[in-house]
Amino acid sequence: MPVRIFSHYVQLPIVILGAIEILLLIGSLYFGAWVRFAGDTLTVVGPPWFRPLVFASVVIVCMVAMGLYQTREGRHRLGLIGIAIRLGASFVLSVVGLAAIFYLAPGLYLGRGSLSITFMAAFASLFTARFVFYTAVGDTFFKPRVLIYGAGEKAANLLATTVGNEPRRNSNLVGFVRSDGDIATRVSADKVIDCHDRLSVFAVTNDVDEIVVAIDDRRKGLPVQELLECKLNGVKVSDALTFFERETGKVKLDLLYPSWMIFSEGFAGNRLQSVLGRAFDILASLALLLVTWPIMVLVAIAIVIDDGLPILYRQARVGFRGEPFQVLKFRSMHTDAEKDGVARWASADDNRITRVGRVIRKFRFDELPQIFNVLRGDMRFVGPRPERPDFVDELSQRIPYYRERHCVKPGITGWAQLRYEYGASHADALEKLQYDLYYVKNRTLLLDMMILLQTAEVILWRSGAR
């Protein structure tokens, strides 16, 4: 069952697992001090909450960056070995983070001996906790029982894309109830329930936690009074689009209607958020330049040796409110890649890409000059990927609501880049737009920070680049 934290849906099992692991990390720190200093934990750890909280926070942030709190990367895909590898990588990153904190705040310093024991205890406890959590309660315990009201086209679409997608399934499906508003029954007969009682009675009798309204024509078959009774009895009532958004982290285009965008929470600007976001972008850009300038110098030299000049590639992209700007990238293709002037999608084995280009694209080093776009204010660190004007004109004619993604500044990384592979076709553009609309609707500084942390995982494990 998802909970909403600062406008972003997070699955309840992830929240509970995170809370458990914070307690285990704090306990591991006390255990490490107890073993190293023969029970004198108070002298080593200090105040009963501050140092442990700093330690646990750093490790949790690094675990988020390694993708250990993403439902799409659960045990179905990672496996125990994958979890162990990423947990180890999180600890290595944590050591770097803690070293920086100890340098800036020496009063928080923890001894190497006790810290080593702490990390060993933390690895054992967290790995065991995840194994127990996934096997004992990870599959069904926290998943709400959901009844779909409707069995037509919309309900069948919902089944195929959310509750029917087993590896990502976040709900226990009770079944589908036919409605007079269905054009025709499209759900298989074994999933359709003959509900002879009132809907509210059936929901209470069968322990239904949520009813999702997915009928094709609400004007013909919406039982307003019965749904109101369900809500008053404590059963959550949602429409298909909201349910889809919550379960998948994207907005389903073929279910989208303008009034939902107008009246739903989100899709709203916030002046304070814009000011804070701009301040963060400037500070983060300057900090990132200090860290990455040696990499940028090496990449520039490699490009010149491999394929000559120029080093940078400037390309027109569509930005905030449809205004064009010149995006900066390290050149990864041959200089005559589009000598005929026709814009083309990049493909998996694109022969226009140079040898150095393949490497820097894989590690996203070609994107580093976009830091200067962020400093200039053309882009943000987080936002929809900026597209070329030719593609925008074409996609806007084919895909509804495509231009709505330009109501926020484009970004170097974004929700769609994390959740979907590199887009190289109109079908990919449509799929990524659904994630972009989710970001536009639910954007907050917290979501931006989460995206930045998870981008570190994408770079480290080299997924999604082309």
Q: In this structure, what are the phi and psi dihedrals at residue 46, rounded to the nearest 5 degrees?
A: 85, -140
CA 98, CA 334: separation in Å to the nearest integer? 43
- Spatial contact of 267 and 261, defined as CB atoms under 8 Å apart: yes
Q: SS3 of 8, please?
A: strand
Q: How far is CA 173 from the centre of its chain?
A: 24
188 and 77 both lie in a single domain: no
Q: What's the pLDDT tens digit per position in 320-363? A: 999 999 999 999 988 876 666 666 666 666 778 899 988 998 88
Does any domain span residue 321?
Answer: yes
241 and 350 both lie in a single domain: no
Number of H helices, E strands in the chain: 18, 11
Of 398, 268, 370, 256, give the one whose Cα is nearest residue 312. Answer: 370
Residue 8: beta bridge partners? 5
Does any domain span residue 256?
Answer: no
Q: What is the DSSP string of 340-353?
A: T-------TT-TTB
Per the structure block, which two tokens stand in for 43? Answer: 């002298």
CA 6, CA 445: separation in Å to the nearest integer? 9
Does any domain span residue 415?
Answer: yes
318 and 377 both lie in a single domain: yes
69 and 91 both lie in a single domain: yes
Q: What's the pLDDT tens digit per position in 60-77? A: 988 888 878 875 444 445
pLDDT score of 293:
93
CA 314, CA 65: separation in Å to the nearest integer? 30
Does any domain span residue 263?
Answer: no
pLDDT score of 1:
57
29 and 100 both lie in a single domain: yes
341 and 234 both lie in a single domain: no
pLDDT score of 463:
54
pLDDT score of 296:
95
- Spatial contact of 382 and 285, defined as CB atoms under 8 Å apart: no
Does any domain span residue 119?
Answer: yes
CA 259, CA 328: separation in Å to the nearest integer? 38
424 and 356 both lie in a single domain: yes
pLDDT score of 60:
92
User: Which of 233, 248, 263 is a domain's end point?
Assistant: 248
404 and 319 both lie in a single domain: yes
288 and 435 both lie in a single domain: yes
Cβ count near 368 (within 10 Å): 21
List, in order, residues 6 or more apart from 309 with CB less than 8 Å away. none
Does any domain span residue 262?
Answer: no
User: Which of 75, 102, 136 is a domain's end point?
Assistant: 136
Of 213, 207, 221, 216, give the one whose Cα is nearest residue 243. Answer: 213
Q: In this structure, what are the phi and psi dihedrals at residue 316, rounded to the nearest 5 degrees?
A: -70, 130
Could you tell me the strand order of the sheet in which 145-149 lies? Answer: 192-193, 172-177, 145-149, 210-213, 236-239
Which domain CATH number covers 179? 3.40.50.720
Does any domain span residue 265?
Answer: no
Domain count, the chain: 3
Per the structure block, which two tokens stand in for 350? Answer: 């694109």
Range of the domain at 91: 2-136
Q: Do you know the residue count of the chain?
A: 466
123 and 171 both lie in a single domain: no
CA 53, CA 47: separation in Å to the nearest integer? 10
User: Which of 216, 248, 280 is a domain's end point?
Assistant: 248
CA 412, CA 451: separation in Å to the nearest integer? 11
Does any domain span residue 258?
Answer: no
Residue ranges of alpha helices (H) inside 37-74 are 41-45, 50-65
331 and 454 both lie in a single domain: yes
Q: Tens of pLDDT along the chain (466 residues)? A: 566 665 666 767 778 888 999 999 999 988 888 887 765 555 555 555 778 888 999 999 888 888 788 754 444 456 678 788 889 888 988 988 888 888 887 777 777 888 888 999 999 999 998 888 877 665 555 678 899 999 988 888 888 776 554 434 567 889 999 888 788 888 888 889 988 788 989 998 888 989 999 998 887 778 899 999 999 988 899 999 988 888 888 898 888 888 888 877 777 777 777 888 899 899 889 988 998 999 999 999 999 999 889 999 999 999 999 999 999 999 998 887 666 666 666 666 677 889 998 899 888 889 999 999 999 999 999 999 999 999 899 999 989 899 999 999 999 999 998 888 766 677 888 899 999 999 998 888 878 888 888 787 666 665 554 4
49 and 95 both lie in a single domain: yes
